[in-house]
């Protein structure tokens, strides 16, 4: 589930804010903050924040999938997700450091609910919850990634969004290959 930027970090200018240090965002979420890599928007920072939180969640629950699942396709999906989220997280943290952006060090509260729910699940209950929770989360992230990739003016965020888009497509495909995704539970696309 996507989390508003303000819910992740207290909003621009707040203590622990994701606004680059020494810079002020003005106006609404459409404002831009200058960086040496091009202006950065609230949507750019939101993508970086969500990727960080998602990486924390998905590495954890995917490690559980490797340990708990009897479904070889779930294990293959989990290993792919771990490998790619480790790369994505490293890239995310690197560009955040380059632009002096503080990213969270724990999943968003709604993500933590899913982690807590899966913590004690086993067997097909775990497999179903894992694949469907992650598949829906990837679909929601894919929308934000596409928007940021299309509209960002920041060269670092543009390349990062490109990498995110490729990995998210792969994750949706490997999750779907498990046979456990319930497409009936996915939201109907808006016209």
pTM of the predicted model, to two decimals? Answer: 0.81
What pLDDT shows up at residue 19?
Answer: 42
Domains and CATH numbers, the chain: 37-183 (1.20.1260.10)
Give the pLDDT mean for 102-121: 95
Q: Does an H or E element contain 41, and which?
A: strand 40-41
Cα gap 152→35, rounded to integer Å: 13
Residue 169 has pLDDT above 60, yes or no: yes
**Cα gap 36→107, rounded to integer Å:** 29
Please state, as a whole number, how many other Cβ atoms lie within 10 Å of the Cβ of residue 186: 12
């Amino acid at each position: 589930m996507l989390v508003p930027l303000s819910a992740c970090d207290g909003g621009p200018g707040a203590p622990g804010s994701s606004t680059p240090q020494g810079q002020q965002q003005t106006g609404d979420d459409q404002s831009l903050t200058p960086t040496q890599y091009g202006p950065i928007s609230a949507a750019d920072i939101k993508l970086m924040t969500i990727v960080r939180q998602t990486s924390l969640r998905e590495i954890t629950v995917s490690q559980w999938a490797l340990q708990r699942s009897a479904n070889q396709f779930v294990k293959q999906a989990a290993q792919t997700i771990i490998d790619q989220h480790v790369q994505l997280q490293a890239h995310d943290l690197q560009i955040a450091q380059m632009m002096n952006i503080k990213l969270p060090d724990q999943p968003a509260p709604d993500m933590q609910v899913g982690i807590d729910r899966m913590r004690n699940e086993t067997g097909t209950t775990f497999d179903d919850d894992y694949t469907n929770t992650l598949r829906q989360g990837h679909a929601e992230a894919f929308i934000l990634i596409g928007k940021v990739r299309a509209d960002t003016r920041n060269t670092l965020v543009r390349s990062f969004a490109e990498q995110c888009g490729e990995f998210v497509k792969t994750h949706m495909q490997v999750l779907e290959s498990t046979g456990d995704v319930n497409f009936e539970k996915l939201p109907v696309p808006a016209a």
